[in-house]
């Protein structure tokens, strides 16, 4: 059978069975669209994960509290994130004595109410030191970060985000004001910073 005959037979079959032809076209379109969507989602997820690791850096080591023994299956304490011993400021000071460590930034993460002039909102809290920016390769969007302090002694100051500044201070000047965070008072040293400015630009 010649090529022309094959083309004619295929075309006549398509015309003779229009419903079957339509269903075939729809099924083919759905299949192609599904492949394109899955490929796009996979590429997006890969780019996101790669970007997160790129932002962290290849020479960053994160230490979390834990125990030095291994057991099978895990325990309820492991699942709940409970460690037998917390890391302390003394641990950070000890790590700083290691010559291979260029910067160290101990952090404490939590969430607590912040209050100013009768206004209150729940805010995420990161307690850390000025070297945090260098460790994470972040940059301030406005102003400077925390003042230079030692690990065992630091003034009660804080850096707030733009949303907190807008909701609690409104049109008032935030820098220099005293903000109650939980059961403590801290002075607003600088405000709003862009954690990804250094890596995205």
Last residue of some domain: 18, 41, 56? Answer: 56
The parent domain of residue 47 ranges over 3-56
- pLDDT given at position 198: 41
- pLDDT given at position 97: 85
Residues 133 and 191 in one domain: yes
Residues 32 and 116 in one domain: no
In a domain, 68, yes or no: no
In a domain, 77, yes or no: no
Residues 23 and 111 in one domain: no
Higher pLDDT, residue 60 or 168: 168
| Arithmetic mean of pLDDT, 183-195 | 69
In a domain, 61, yes or no: no
Residues 108 and 52 in one domain: no
Percent of the chain with pLDDT over 70: 73
- pLDDT given at position 104: 84
- pLDDT given at position 115: 87
Last residue of some domain: 34, 56, 78? Answer: 56
In a domain, 99, yes or no: no
pTM across the whole model = 0.49
Q: CB of 142 within 8 A of CB of 191?
A: yes
Distance of CA 201 to the CA centre of its chain: 17
Q: Which of 4-18, 88-102, 127-141, 183-197 has the highest mean pLDDT?
A: 88-102
Residue with tokens 């005293």: 178
Alpha carbon distance 170, 174 (integer Å): 9
Higher pLDDT, residue 159 or 35: 35
Look at residue 146 and tell me whether its pLDDT is greater than 80. no
- Model confidence band, residue 142 (pLDDT cutoffs 50, 70, 90): low
Residues 109 and 190 in one domain: yes
Alpha carbon distance 120, 180 (integer Å): 9
In a domain, 110, yes or no: yes
In a domain, 96, yes or no: no
In a domain, 136, yes or no: yes
How far lies 58's CA from each of 52, 54, 133, 139, in Å? 11, 7, 16, 18
In a domain, 81, yes or no: no
Residues 121 and 194 in one domain: yes
Alpha carbon distance 69, 175 (integer Å): 47
- pLDDT given at position 57: 62
Q: What is the pLDDT of residues 92-120, one digit of tens each?
A: 888 888 888 888 888 888 888 888 888 88
Residues 117 and 177 in one domain: yes
| Arithmetic mean of pLDDT, 141-147 | 67
Alpha carbon distance 70, 102 (integer Å): 30
Last residue of some domain: 56, 78, 94? Answer: 56
| Tally of domains within the chain | 2
Q: What is the pLDDT of residues 22-78, one digit of tens each?
A: 888 899 999 999 999 999 998 888 888 777 766 666 677 777 776 555 555 455 445
- pLDDT given at position 39: 92
Q: In the structure encoding, which two tokens stand for residue 73, read together?
A: 């299956």
């Amino acid at each position: 059978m010649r090529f022309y005959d094959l083309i004619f037979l295929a075309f006549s079959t398509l015309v003779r069975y229009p419903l079957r032809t339509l269903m075939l076209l729809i099924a083919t379109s759905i299949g192609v669209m599904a492949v394109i969507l899955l490929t796009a989602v996979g590429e997006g997820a890969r780019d996101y994960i790669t970007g997160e690791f790129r932002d962290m850096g290849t020479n960053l080591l994160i230490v979390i509290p834990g125990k030095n023994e291994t057991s099978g299956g895990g325990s309820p304490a492991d699942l709940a994130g409970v460690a037998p011993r917390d890391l302390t400021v003394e641990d950070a000071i000890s790590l700083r004595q290691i010559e291979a460590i260029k910067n160290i930034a101990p952090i404490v993460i939590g969430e607590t109410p912040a209050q100013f002039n009768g206004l209150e909102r729940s805010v995420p809290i990161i307690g850390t030191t000025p070297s945090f920016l260098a460790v994470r390769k972040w940059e301030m969007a406005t102003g400077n970060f925390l003042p230079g302090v030692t690990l065992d002694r630091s003034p009660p100051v804080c850096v707030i985000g733009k949303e907190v500044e807008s909701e609690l201070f409104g049109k008032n000047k935030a820098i220099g004001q005293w903000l109650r965070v939980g059961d403590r008072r801290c002075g607003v040293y600088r405000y709003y910073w862009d954690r990804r400015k250094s890596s995205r630009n």
